[in-house]
């Protein structure tokens, strides 16, 4: 089974991001992947892992019933899936993603003191974190 989870890692905003600061993805009649991902993480920081977020957003968008989610999750992660490094949150909207020691995620706004510390390799608890960047939009 594949995973998208990171542990003790900070995903910094992409080098080619147009964001000058953090912005909430715009509301739409049909919520976007970025909007659903934002809402799930922002409403529950450090509650879900990357796998939880990516699968739940996919399942919600595809209408997977709650009763079928365990089977669907196993099938979903039977092959590799894009991680949060490819999300529009750190690529377009100016959000860093902090993955704690248990792999749970939280959003960190670009330009905040917490973002600066995490981008420097130090977690809020003072422990070291691995810093990686979100994937660039252009080659």
Q: pLDDT tens for residues 41-78?
A: 999 999 999 999 999 999 999 999 999 999 999 999 99
Residues 6+ apart with CB under 8 A from 69: 55, 59
pTM: 0.92
Which pLDDT does position 60 carry in this prediction? Answer: 94
Taking the C-alpha atoms of residue 107 and residue 19, their distance in angstroms, rounded to an integer, is 15
CB 6 within 8 A of CB 115: no
Our CA dihedral for 84, 89, 91, 93, rounded to 10 degrees, sits at -170
Closest CA to 49 of 7, 81, 77, 88: 7
CB 96 within 8 A of CB 12: yes
Handedness of CA 98, 83, 49, 106 (dihedral sign): positive
* Burial zone of 96 (CB within 10 Å; 0-12 exposed, 13-18 middle, 19+ buried): buried
Which pLDDT does position 1 carry in this prediction? Answer: 73
Q: Are strands 95-99 and 9-12 parallel, antiparallel or unpaired?
A: antiparallel
Which pLDDT does position 125 carry in this prediction? Answer: 83
Which pLDDT does position 139 carry in this prediction? Answer: 67
For the chain, which residues score pLDDT lower than 70? 139
Q: Taking each helix axis from N to C terminus, what angle separates 50-61 and 33-43, rounded to the nearest 10 degrees?
A: 130
Q: Where would I find the H helices in the chain?
A: 33-43, 50-61, 69-76, 88-91, 113-119
* Structural domain spans, the chain: 9-133
């Amino acid at each position: 089974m594949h995973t998208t989870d990171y542990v003790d890692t900070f995903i910094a905003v992409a080098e080619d991001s147009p964001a000058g600061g953090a912005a909430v993805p715009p509301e739409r009649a049909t919520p976007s992947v970025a909007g659903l991902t934002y809402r799930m993480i922002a409403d529950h920081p450090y509650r879900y892992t990357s796998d939880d977020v990516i699968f739940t957003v996919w399942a919600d968008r595809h209408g997977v019933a709650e009763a079928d989610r365990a089977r669907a999750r196993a099938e979903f992660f039977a092959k590799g899936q894009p991680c949060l490094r490819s999300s529009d949150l750190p690529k377009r909207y100016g959000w860093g993603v902090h993955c704690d020691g248990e792999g749970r995620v939280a959003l960190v706004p670009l330009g905040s003191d917490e973002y600066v510390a995490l981008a420097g390799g130090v977690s809020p608890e003072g422990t070291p974190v691995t810093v990686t960047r979100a994937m660039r939009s252009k080659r």
